[in-house]
Structure 1
């Protein structure tokens, strides 16, 4: 049943996106929309990540800003700002900062 649900959700998502991006008559999208498309993925990713990081509970007895989720996100952001094209380094540093903070608290 789970597989059928996932397949149906994928079909609905594909259908909705195809209606917008794949019209039967080839037309050109407006320039403003084409310029905005590269920012869609980071915006969606931030909309998913930020609430879970900001609303994560801090360990007992430590300040709220010292939550392992916030520390990991800030370290990942900092490394990503310096090393823009190295995803594995950014990911590994964020996970290491999260684990170290969780271990120390």
Structure 2
């Protein structure tokens, strides 16, 4: 049953995306869509990251607002402000800050 559900979900996702982008040729995308495409990836990442940071459990012995998830997100954001084109540096710094905060807090 799980396999059937996964296959059906994939088929529905493909059908929805094909209906929107399939009939169009790449050079004929409307201008509004062309301008919006660079913002898709950051919006999806924010939709994934923000709930896990905001709803993260607070550490038992530290301040209630300071969780390792928040520390990692803030460090990743701070590094990303200065190094916009270096994804691996931003990712590695966020993971390292999360691990260090998890160890210290």
Q: Same fold (TM over 0.5)?
A: yes
Question: Which blocks of at least 5 consecutive residues in structure 2 are unaligned?
Answer: none
Q: Indicate the SS of the match to 1:65.
A: coil
Q: Indicate the SS of the match to 2:12.
A: helix
Q: 1: distance between equivalents of 2:56 and 2:7?
A: 32
Aligned to 2:88: 88
TM-score normalised by structure 1 residue count: 0.85
Question: Which blocks of at least 5 consecutive residues in structure 1 are unaligned?
Answer: none
Write the deviation string for residues 22-44 of structure 1: whole angstroms up to 9, x where unpaired: 12799944322221121122112
Aligned to 1:103: 103
Aligned to 2:10: 10
Q: Indicate the SS of the match to 1:64.
A: coil
Aligned length: 105
Say what the alpha-carbon RMSD is for the aligned residues: 2.2
TM-score normalised by structure 2 residue count: 0.85
